[in-house]
Structure 1
Amino acid sequence: MRLLVTGGAGYIGSVVTALLLDAGHSVLVLDDLSTGHEAAIPTGAAFVRGRVHEVIGDVLTPDFDAVLHFAAFIAAGESVAKPEKYWENNLIGSLRLLDAARAAGVRRLVFSSTANVYGDPDTVPIPETAETRPPNPYAASKLAVDHALAGEAIAHGLAAVSLRYFNVAGAHRSPDGGLIGERHDPETHLIPIALQVAAGKREKLQLYGDDYPTADGTCVRDYIHVSDLAAAHLLALETMRPGEHRVFNLGNGNGFSNRQVIDVVREVTGHPVPTEIGPRRAGDPAELVASSEAARRELGWQPAKPTLARMVADAWEFLHRQG
């Protein structure tokens, strides 16, 4: 297949691009490099630098078979301070993409969504049928795109799949031994920050709240290896159905508290990770753990690297390779 990957210079988009190339597909990456890195684009992918809003009509031509859409801003905290930035980029960009796909007759789309749309859930693990109550504009913008995809499927026959990610971690190892990992700037994710502290690149780790109703008082999250997450996108492409928008949660189904994550980082690296307790962050649920039974059943998806230690070890190796 000939595939367009928007945001393919980012963390997850670049790993998915690598797997698509390994599977024999032809891939064009579209990315404005506002948060992505050209060096992360795997060898073998064509690349167009540009913003979806501005160039998608020229880039997405009828010879493409499908689109995998990752181009979005993802910092939930920033979205609270700058909601207009997230609505304009994440929602309007996606609507422009849908217009271009309709005009070109490209009728398959895989969308990078988020478990953040569930907010503070009533039950854990969280099924796809759980009530959505996005706690910030980032999550709200992703949920709005999900609704747009559902309407496009009904009205215009789009085959669409939204994959709602839980906490993605680790680094992807290519057949030649290369690694693709997180390069966010600024970094906001717990594991890479903890590893930076272990490596002496940061003085300490800030923990936001230790008074949650969990076993050790810190937030509990479900972590999934980026390679496992990426594999689900290829399965989604193979199983999508015209006129249907399907939603799948992607997580391991196991929760780890922030303190447990830090303990694993200490064990894997052999270094101390000084921590400081700060106040809770607004909108942080106590516990987010996925039910991914639908993905396992309907996509045939099975995580191959489910252990937190493996995710941390791969991310640690990637950090060292970056210098």
Structure 2
Amino acid sequence: MHRVVVLALGRVYPFELGIPTRIFGAAGDRYEVITCSADGGPVATTADFAVHVQHGPEALATADTVIIPPFAIPGPVTPDGRLSPEAAKALAQIIPGTRIVSICTGAFVLAAAGWLDGRPVTTHWRQADLLRRLFPRVRVDPDVLFVDDGDILTSAGAASGVDVCLHLVRRDHGSEVANQVARRCVVPPWRDGGQAQYIERPVPAPSSGGPARARAWALEHLHLPVTLAELAAEARMSSRTFARRFRAETGMSPGRWLIQQRIERARRLLESTDLPVDRIASEVGFGTAASLRQHLNAAIGVSPATYRRTFRPPLAG
């Protein structure tokens, strides 16, 4: 029987703490799941209760898979990216070669231990920039639900813990068993797209003058085929100067920025209206439904119809 040991660290999120037991427990007698703490004592959670676990850190030495659920930042990782002594001592119990999985901010523990250097990883999209700043040698991808890098897997926030655990069941025992587990837990066996569809990218308030003025104008005319020359004229600059200033202010070309804004406008319309997809495509300047599908799928990995089903369920009849 494959032993999964879940390490509960201080300020743990209770929902994610319970995911491994629920998913692997639904796979019959294929897995044994136990939970331990860094010192064998009760663990503070982000809720108004603590959890008492039956095992101390020595259980980690018996694991085939170790799972580290998320915690409220900073938790066991200091603001400058160092592990707390208790967490470091607990991780030292893990036998080299053990499969290790993090959910959401659990990736910060693995990064602080130096185990993610040079690896592709993910975490909750809201914490991705902090993970990059604290651990610049880690290759952070905030757009995916999880990353399988062989012996180390990392996942995004909350329900993506379900996704990565189902993925492990699928990897260990095949799709049929994983699908059975998903049915028992009443969750989809696989979710289309990635974390990108959940990321909020608010449009910054434009300042006055120059490229900012052109951006504000463009947002009012997204339904039109806006050109670089028109943007430059609105900013009262030559096209060359405008493109250079625009990239310096936004980090991207005017064309790439326009596509991003059109995608964001389309997402808002898909969420908040019942307009047909071809009408939305016209409203945001993509022209055709096929063009909107292509751009949305490239940006967030799902079609307009799938995105709308996720964020705007049908009204009850």
**Is the structural similarity TM-score above 0.5?**
no
Structure ranking higher on relative contact order (CA contacts 8 Å, 6+ apart): 1
- Mark the structure with the bigger radius of gyration: 2
TM-score, normalised on structure 2?
0.37
Higher helix fraction: Structure 1 or Structure 2? 2
TM-score, normalised on structure 1?
0.36
Higher strand fraction: Structure 1 or Structure 2? 1
